[in-house]
Amino acid sequence: MKQSIGIDGPAGAGKSTVAKRIAQALGIPYLDTGAMYRATAVAAKKHGIGFTDEERLSEFVRTLDVRVQYLGSEQHMLVDGEDVTGQLRTEEISQGASLVSRVPAVRDRMVELQREVAHAQRVVMDGRDICTNVLPDTPYKFFVAASAEERANRRYKQLLEAGQEADYDTILKDIVRRDKQDSERAYKPLYCGADTKRIDTTHMTIEEATQAILSEV
């Protein structure tokens, strides 16, 4: 069996763009694991459960039906049968996903689903704990990083290009807060393991970062 490719890194480092390109180049599916935590946050909000309410979240996630469905190469998230894909990319849900992902029962459930996907086929998976926890045995492990300022700058430009309002300082503050939450949580935090190749994209184009990984796999 060909082994899957894991890509971790902080919010906004370009992981998902790079991961999608690699998946396309190799002709295999891409699994965005952040979308699974985001879908859980959407479901918690809908049920009036606080993002930091560990007890209720732990109970809630036990029976939550979270599914990944592909329409063509596009990943959709279904929660209890409802397609919530269009609700995942707000600032509130970005923060909510970061908060619910601290809860061990939430993580264990998502990791179980992620391993099921990787067991069935070779995939490119990106997230925070893919190399250290979800797929520790794959030889293809990467950590895609960039300075917080550069990540905020990219996000800022992206929003302006999409015709949306953007404030650089607010974006930077949100990124720094999420970095701290994701890398300082007690259970399965974000970090670059000793056996993982670190790629700093601060001064790289997406194409260069993609090639750096493709040349290894």
- The binding site for ligand DC (CB under 6 A) comprises 11, 33-34, 37-38, 97-98, 101, 127-130, 178, 182
Q: How far is CA 60 from CA 14, 34, 129, in A?
A: 31, 19, 22
Question: In this complex, which beta carbon is closest to ligand DC, that of residue 186 or of residue 215?
Answer: 186
Give me the sheet containing 82-83, strands edge to edge. Answer: 66-71, 74-79, 82-83
Q: How far apart are the first and last CA of the chain?
A: 14
Pairing between strand 197-200 and 140-145?
A: parallel
- Considering the complex, what minimum distance in angstroms separates the CB of residue 139 from ligand DC? 19
- Considering the complex, what minimum distance in angstroms separates the CB of residue 156 from ligand DC? 16
- Considering the complex, what minimum distance in angstroms separates the CB of residue 34 from ligand DC? 2
> Using CA atoms, how far apart are residues 202 and 152, in angstroms rounded to an integer?
11
Question: In this complex, which beta carbon is closest to ligand DC, that of residue 183 or of residue 202?
Answer: 183
- Considering the complex, what minimum distance in angstroms separates the CB of residue 11 from ligand DC? 5
Determine the 3-state secondary structure of 184 from DSSP.
helix
Question: In this complex, which beta carbon is closest to ligand DC, that of residue 27 or of residue 196?
Answer: 196
Question: In this complex, which beta carbon is closest to ligand DC, that of residue 164 or of residue 215?
Answer: 164
